[in-house]
Amino acid sequence: MRKCYIVSEEKGRRRFLKPVSLAEAFELASSSFSLSLRTKVVKLEDALGTILAEDIYSSMDMPPEDRAFYDGFALRSEDVENASSSAPAVLTIKERGPVGRGEAVPIGAGEPLPEGADSVARTEICEVLDKRVLVKAPLRKGENLIKRGGDLRKGEVALERGRSLRPQDIALAMELGLSEVRVYEKPKVAVMHVGKEVLEKREKGFPYPDNFSQLASLMLKSFGFETTHLGIFPENAQQFVEVTLKAMDNYDALVVVGRASIGEEDLVPRVLQDIGRIVFHGVGVSPGKVSGLAVVKEKPVFMVPAHVGSAMASLLLIVIPALTLSLYGSREPYFRLRAKLKGYIEGRHGLAAFRTVAVKREGEGFAAYPVSKELGGSPFLTSLTRANGFVILEPGSKLKEGESVEVRLFSPQELLPCSLPEKSK
């Protein structure tokens, strides 16, 4: 058992014995626990946004018959085999099929080919004269058709497992005659807050004294997790053990906000080592250094600091990517884009840095403004409300004004133009 959380005293201050790098934290997390998604069956009309847990095979050819590729006339190619602009074929217009020798039926792009026809003459090569049509070029059999099964053949996979179901995906499943599908359940994450100062704040009448754990809970929710806030607890080891062990039975993961650092009052890492295993404690990133991971009953317990910038960094850099990797096998839950940096961003010596930015459209691209130039993007709660994404800096690196930087958006909704009503402003 690694006693990573044990602290050393140096220059009058307690320090993490062995903080890990962000990359090491990730490696350790991905090898220390393994979660699986549960599945459930839902009605198709309730499936929007769920993730498909099975391959869906097509029960039919799509389209189910030959169709016109262009507007024009459905006809028999043998009737126009010698047609040219100087010697057009002359066919009789019929309102609908079947199409016999010497006949043509008007057809719109995408409409089923009437019986008897084997090709479609585009409007451009046709000239209508009363009840007849002149066709001015020859056609091959099958020309300008969308063939039966051309889009999807019977027995092919129509919708693959893992697809996040959108309106058109559900409409296709409906077209195939299905009424329900098997999808993945949302993973369940519990969040708790430890710290008597939060309890005291509640006694003073604050409705949400635990706003940083509420932030954690809402942040996880916005990334597709089902979250339960277990409440606020005092620094009581026995109570913490009971709540934690129970949570491990009922949820896929636990996030503990507060009392995760290296002070004497920080019981969380000590207790987690007693009832489980500390995977890492202390991460080389600023803010977010006071982050940790333990495994209890084979499930992850994340330690998240109760300061807003640190909590945000810990959640976005460690908790959410680690859970996403274990559950979905994908390392990166964020919408990434490149933007031109407006201002400079500086990291701290020896630590990776988490810096928040406000991305805006500028010209054909994007510009990223550090949310507070004065703070170099330092994450106070008010700054966070002005930001819509973040940048990760390598330890010791600096980003200069005008550089192209990779920004991860807090949510892909962030750049929607309609999020702010302009109407009555």
| 198 phi, psi to nearest 5 deg | -75, -40
Nearest to 56 by CA among 160, 200, 204, 171: 160
Q: Pick the closer one to its own copies by CB: 151 or 235.
A: 151
Q: Smallest gap, in angstroms, from Cβ of residue 215 to its own copies? A: 4
Q: Pick the closer one to its own copies by CB: 104 or 296.
A: 104
What crossing angle do the helices spanning 267-275 and 237-250 adopt, rounded to 10°?
Answer: 60
- Give the type of residue at 235: E
Q: Smallest gap, in angstroms, from Cβ of residue 409 to its own copies? A: 9
Neighbours of 11 (CB within 10 A): 5
Distance in angstroms (rounded) separating the CA atoms of residues 169 and 163:
9
Q: Smallest gap, in angstroms, from Cβ of residue 98 to its own copies? A: 18
**DSSP states of 326-368:** HHHS-S--S-EEEEEESS-EE-BTTBEEEEEEEEEEETTEEEE
Q: Smallest gap, in angstroms, from Cβ of residue 289 to its own copies? A: 10
Q: Pick the closer one to its own copies by CB: 73 or 276.
A: 73
Q: Pick the closer one to its own copies by CB: 46 or 242.
A: 46
Q: Pick the closer one to its own copies by CB: 166 or 398.
A: 166
Q: Pick the closer one to its own copies by CB: 82 or 385.
A: 385
Q: Pick the closer one to its own copies by CB: 25 or 219.
A: 219
SS3 144: coil
SS3 378: coil
Q: Smallest gap, in angstroms, from Cβ of residue 333 to its own copies? A: 5
Residue in this structure with the two tokens 């809402």, named with its chain if needed:
218
Q: Smallest gap, in angstroms, from Cβ of residue 77 to its own copies? A: 19
Contact present, 341 and 355 (Cβ < 8 Å): no
Nearest to 15 by CA among 23, 28, 6, 3: 6
Q: Smallest gap, in angstroms, from Cβ of residue 241 to its own copies? A: 27
SS3 9: strand
